Amino acid sequence: MSVAIVILNFNGKHFLEKFLPSVVASCPKNSIYVADNGSSDDSIDFLKNQYPEVHLLIGEGNLGYAGGYNRALQSIDADYYVLMNSDIEPSENWLNPLVDYMENNPLVAAAQPFILAYQDPTYFEYAGAAGGYWDNLGFPFCRGRIFDSIEKNEGQYSTSLVQWATGACLLVRSDIYWQVGGLDAYFFAHMEEIDLCWRFQRAGYQVAAVAESTVKHVGGGTLDKGNPFKTYLNFRNNLILLYKNLSGWEKWSTLLFRMGADGLAGIRYLLSGEFALIWAIVKAHFAFYYYILVHHPKQNLPNALIKKSSTIMYPKSILWAYFMQKKKKFSDLKY
């Protein structure tokens, strides 16, 4: 059993300087890889000079999170991959609980640690918290985080199967990763890990969040929350996510309602004067139509791998629960 910890880097020397020492200290020797995604800063020279023991994989051009990882992982031979953001500070014993859980649960294809906020580790962090879910329109949320409401970590969540695990720090079985096609490079960034986890489950596997393992995450290190390109990717990729993983009447009815919800989001941005974000939503929808016409045949899970249809963990609207019913915590939701 071998584990490769793979950090994707794009102009992140400042994060490598800050967080790579704790990664090196908490991981087995010769297990750490930094996959450079076409950086233009001096990340590569820094790694060569300061961390010669870290395997350096240099790629030409920025392929995003999905394409960058696929490119790097193709050259790594290991039983498990850990996909780790460069702005992660792991706890001292974060890796063993993840691997032990996977070894004891052979149907689990992916698992995440609990993600805590670097700025205040008593709280969960936005990107993943204690494991993710989606609602009946494909909106993602987490145990410990619904939209912008972040919960304090008071031991209220335990190790559990979840719907999706965060790409900020994600342990996957390498053979199953490639069996389902790896990350979808078309996504570039944002929600690609949700798509991967959905395909894992459609192929008959499971996804988990492990409470005994914790890491701290800065978050927003590449694109901040209000960046129009981030908005574009989130809206486009969420539509593609539904198109790929649903089927028949459920797919088209869900997409119709989801597009209506996107329109409401556009009105909200209009009222707040965020016109660049409105345009990002419009572009996202046209990009989705282009995807349907040109790219979709290449992106679906092969029929031979499909073991079961997808199930929605929360069969209601998280938008309605959060904004209308004022349910701000995962424990407030009723299934």
Reported confidence tier of residue 308, pLDDT bands at 50, 70, 90: confident
Tens digit of pLDDT for each residue in 229-276?
999 999 999 999 999 999 889 999 999 999 999 999 999 999 999 999
**How far is residue 231 from each of residues 261, 265, 281, measured CA to CA in Å?**
14, 11, 7
**Where does the pLDDT of residue 156 fall: very low under 50, low under 70, confident under 90, or very high at 90 and above?**
very high
Residue 130 has pLDDT above 90, yes or no: yes
pTM metric for this prediction: 0.95
Average pLDDT, the chain: 94
pLDDT band per the 50, 70, 90 thresholds, residue 311:
low
| CA dist 258 → 194, 235, 277, 319 (Å) | 17, 10, 17, 11
3-class SS at 208?
strand
Rounded to the nearest 5 degrees, what angle is found at the Cα of 276, between the Cα atoms of 270 and 280? 100
Q: How does residue 295 score in pLDDT terms, banded at 50, 70 and 90?
A: confident
Q: Which residues contact 278 (CB under 8 A, 6 or more apart)?
A: 266, 269, 270
124: pLDDT strictly greater than 70: yes
Collapsed DSSP state (helix, strand, coil) of residue 172: strand
Spell out the domain ranges in the chain: 3-217, 228-332
Q: What is the pLDDT of residue 309?
A: 66
Residue range 90-99: mean pLDDT, rounded: 97
Q: 3-217 architecture in CATH?
A: Alpha-Beta Complex (3.90)
The pLDDT-based confidence of 313 (bands split at 50, 70, 90) is confident
Per-residue pLDDT reduced to its tens digit, 9-65? 999 999 999 999 999 999 999 999 999 999 999 999 999 999 999 999 999 999 999
Nearest to 214 by CA among 112, 306, 295, 140: 112
pLDDT band at 299 (very low <50, low <70, confident <90, very high): low
Look at residue 111 and tell me whether its pLDDT is greater than 90: yes
% of the chain residues with pLDDT over 90: 89
β-pairing, 80-84 vs 32-37, is unpaired
Q: What is the pLDDT of residue 1?
A: 83
Q: What pLDDT sits at residue 306?
A: 87
Q: What is the pLDDT of residue 301?
A: 82
